[in-house]
Structure 1
Amino acid sequence: MAATQLEYNQSWKLHESRRFQRVPVTLFGRCMLESRREYPCRTLEMSPGDMTLMAPVRAAIGEKVIVYLDQIGRFAGVATDHTEAGFALTMNLSAAKRDRLADQLTWFANRHAVNLPDDRRHERIVPIMPRTLLRLPDGQETIVRIRDLSLSGVGLETEARPDPGLRIVVGATPAIVVRHFAGGIGAEFETPFRPGEIDEGTRL
């Protein structure tokens, strides 16, 4: 029975890999195994049909897994493979959720390309009141200085070094870390501001 289940899972995994293109993406969350125990995890690769997780435990092949990802929600799947850092699982999503996830993954995969250090697609300003509160992924909060601000992102002077791809909150504005620079970090807003919504008097 075990061999049959393994063969089925391997066949399903191959089928899924042909249907969907995986992209490297870092999203943090938690995974729950059939034991009902939860563990921290993060994605390494993901497609609308499967994901590879880095986790402190490995689900058994064929085990049902629930994954909660901070930015895109809950997913149910079945573990199909073990990796050095964790395990992979397949998901059976509705067509609507699969399409939405494909759009989200495209955005996550491309965000670095649209916010490189020399990006000037939006005019950058320096706010009159540059101090703001930065909330890090682990919940810690620190006062930082806004070096520059645009419709799409912000440069922060800080000693904190959250990894690129992590979600932070600048004041009350959610953002994703996209780069480090000497003395600080650059982040892209999850929802860009519209023209006219920010100026030198803006406080995040």
Structure 2
Amino acid sequence: MLTAPQNPKTGSVPVERRRHQRMKVVLLGRYMLPNRMEYPCQTTDISPGGLHMVAPAKPMIGDRVIVYLEHLGRIEGTAVRTTPAGFAMTITATSRKREKFTAQLTWLANRDELGLPEDRRHERIVPRNPRCIITLEDGSEHAVRLIDISLSGAAFASDHQFEMGTAIRLGGTAAMIVRRFDGGYAAQFRMPLSADALDENLEL
């Protein structure tokens, strides 16, 4: 779990008005503060009007924050409250974008609650070069074929038998085997990728 140092310049302020119902949706991502520094993050709850996330570096109240979340993409807003683990922010969006965001958020919340399969229509890319080498902790290497990549993980095809929870390096990226499917596996990255790097030319 990410921990967050206290920022002596930020204090407690009244909780922002919550016009929207917050849903327990856990997503990985990255965020950028006004100083243009990027950090990894993990959401704990989200609403169409705001979100709270676990974050290692806290903004000043009123700072503009840009967040890239798996499944949801780029989100902009303003920091309104700091917490021991991170901070909360409002979400700035047009009415049309907020409607789309609400639909995506509802789907994600229902998916987690009902155990629905992951929707990969928007948030994953198919790499131009699918060849990749997996390295295990004992140093052994296995050639695999990447199927798709997201900010938080990748799916790959392999005939090798991997145990769930196995720590690997997918190319140069630290990851862990989290799921098996017919013909391959899904791996979760130890740290989410930068959204700016997520395109078909990406090589892990």
Alignment of 1:16-55 (within 5 A): 17=18, 19-55=19-55
The AA in structure 1 aligned to 2:59 is A
Q: Structure 1 residues 112, 97: closer, same or farther in 2, change over 3 A?
A: same
Aligned to 2:86: 86
CA shift, 1:142, in A, is 8.3
Question: Percent of pairs identical after alignment?
Answer: 36
**How do 1:136-147 and structure 2 match up within 5 A?**
137=152, 143=158
The structural deviation recorded for 1:71 is 1.7
TM-score of the superposition, structure 2-length normalised? 0.54
| Aligned partners of 1:55 and 1:87 also within 8 Å | yes
* Contact map agreement 1:66 1:76 (CA 8 A) in 2: yes
The answer to whether the Cα contact below 8 Å between 1:144 and 1:158 also exists between their aligned partners in 2 is no
How many residue pairs get aligned? The number is: 139
Counterpart CA distance in 2 for 1:133 and 1:171 is 14
* Partner in structure 1 of residue 133 of structure 2: none
Q: Matched residues in 2 for 1:140 and 1:107: separation?
A: 22
- Distance verdict in 2 for CA 1:113–1:65, change over 3 Å: closer
Q: Distance in 1 between matches of 2:187 and 2:99?
A: 22
Q: Any unmatched runs of 5+ in structure 1?
A: 1-5, 117-130, 147-155, 162-166, 178-204
Q: Take 2:55 and 2:61, find their aligned partners in 1: how far apart are those partners?
A: 15
After superposition, the Cα gap between the structure-2 partners of 1:174 and 1:103, relative to the gap in structure 1 and judged at 3 Å, is farther
The DSSP-based 3-state class of the residue aligned with 2:114 is: coil
Q: Deviations over 1:123-143 (max 9, x none)?
A: xxxxxxxx9978793669685
Task: Please give the alpha-carbon distance, in whole angstroms, between the structure 2 residues aligned to 1:176 and 1:21.
Answer: 32
Counterpart CA distance in 1 for 2:185 and 2:96 is: 25
- Please state how far the C-alpha of 1:49 moved relative to its aligned partner: 0.6
Residue deviations 1:81-112, cap 9 Å, x none?
01111000011211111111111111111113
The code of the aligned residue for 1:158 comes to M
TM-score of the two chains, using structure 1 as the length reference? 0.54
Pairwise CA RMSD: 4.2
Which has more helix, going by share of residues? 1
User: By how many angstroms is 1:168 displaced?
Assistant: 7.8
3-state SS of 2:107 partner? helix
Answer yes or no: is 1:158 the counterpart of 2:164.
Answer: yes
The one-letter code of the counterpart of 2:164 is T
Asked if 2 retains the 8 angstrom alpha-carbon contact of 1:133 and 1:143, the reply is no
Does the Cα contact within 8 Å between 1:79 and 1:88 map onto a contact in 2? yes
How is 1:183-194 mapped onto 2 (pairs within 5 angstroms)? none
Q: Distance in 1 between matches of 2:105 and 2:159?
A: 30
Q: Match for residue 196 of structure 1?
A: none
1:94-133 alignment, distance < 5 Å = 94-115=94-115
Aligned residues of 1:82 and 1:88 also touching (Cα < 8 A): yes
Structure 2 match to 1:74: 74
